[in-house]
A = this chain, B = another copy of it.
Amino acid sequence: MDFSIDLIRQAQDRIAPHVITTPLIRAERLDSYLGCKVYLKLENMQNAGAFKLRGAMNACLILTPEQLANGIVTCSTGNHGRACSFAGKMLGVPVTVVVPHGAPDIKVRNIKALGAQVVQCPAVERFDVAGRIAAETGAAFVPPYDDWAVMAGQGTAGLEITQQLPDADVLVVPTSGGGLLSGVSCAVKESCPDVRIVGAEPAVMARYGASLEAGRPVELPQADTIADALLSNHPGEKCFEVVRRYVDQAVPVSDQAIKRAQKLLLTEGCVFAEPSACIGIGAVLDGTLKVDPDQKVCFLISGGNCAIDQLDAIKDAEV
């Protein structure tokens, strides 16, 4: 395997000037709702609004000037696109982002606000469309997750967690293709092997649950979920290899529980996060993740790119 904590440490040095060391806080008021000692790693407070900047920035910074000459192109359900747009703007290169139809307006607006060009297409075609644009324009493709440089960048969030809460009992990570989960699990398990690491994924498309059971990456039918940043229907192959080695468990979470989690985090936790970022808390509410009152459980809150209007969807959720 061409992946290691050393790659993550190198990424940390490389991206340090551009990313925020985000707060990891104790959220005591959530304890009684979740039945454990609650900690939150606040990647929603990251530049460009999500952990995605870590991987995108690392992937861009290892490209040569020649590779960057024609700009970069990527495909993304939103947050990676905004991260690439942010990175491209800092590096002074043009950026094209392929976004699936149905991505939240706020995410598309935020990408455009950074000067990037947006191309929309059906979700399942987004990699093909991005590949075609790369071939036609000579732009460098920056993949959203199944890439060692991207995974190493995301893993830097894990390095911070091992500094901020070295005695965590459980770490819960929102999971789509597995870029964040793979990077973070490697960083944490290699430093603090006793931390139990859990990936939380939408129940309608539990690609890691199915793949870990099958022992190989499994592709599921594309499905829709309120967790609009967790739309991959299969694990990345590289990600899967790392996840299989370091992750203890993948748990499915219903959309209803994600909504409840978002409302709980907002009104009782006082933290504003997008639905996908709340899926770990949803796993506890849903009962698919079991925790104990004495356990220190850290929820990685992955992003905060959410419009106020979107909160209409959770007004009536039960807390």
Closest to A42 in B: B270
Closest to A40 in B: B23
**Is A44 engaged at the interface, CB distance under 8 Å to the other chain?**
yes
* A308→B266 contact, CB < 8 A: yes
Shortest distance between the CB of A40 and any CB in chain B (Å): 9
- Complex-state Cα separation, A187 to B200, whole angstroms: 44
* A308→B304 contact, CB < 8 A: no
- Complex-state Cα separation, A269 to B315, whole angstroms: 21
**Is A25 engaged at the interface, CB distance under 8 Å to the other chain?**
yes
Total interface residues on A, CB under 8 Å, equals 27
* A270→B271 contact, CB < 8 A: yes
Closest to A43 in B: B270
* A47→B25 contact, CB < 8 A: no
In the bound complex, residues from chain B placing their C-beta under 8 Å from that of A25 are: 23, 25, 42, 45
Binds B, one of A26-34, A124-132, A201-209: A26-34
Dominant secondary structure of chain A at its interface with chain B: mixed
* A314→B304 contact, CB < 8 A: no
- Complex interface residues of chain A between 302 and 319 (CB less than 8 A to chain B): 304, 306-309, 311, 314-315
Shortest distance between the CB of A80 and any CB in chain B (Å): 18
**Is A134 engaged at the interface, CB distance under 8 Å to the other chain?**
no
* A267→B272 contact, CB < 8 A: yes
Q: Which of these, B28, B271, B309, contacts A272 with CB under 8 Å?
A: B271
**Is A192 engaged at the interface, CB distance under 8 Å to the other chain?**
no
- Complex-state Cα separation, A273 to B304, whole angstroms: 15
Chain A interface (Cβ < 8 Å from any Cβ of B): 20, 23, 25-29, 42, 44-45, 47, 263, 266-267, 269-273, 304, 306-309, 311, 314-315
List 20 A-B pairs, Cβ < 8 Å.
Answer: A20-B28, A23-B23, A25-B25, A28-B45, A42-B270, A45-B269, A45-B270, A263-B308, A266-B272, A267-B272, A267-B308, A269-B272, A270-B271, A270-B272, A270-B273, A270-B304, A272-B272, A308-B311, A308-B314, A309-B315
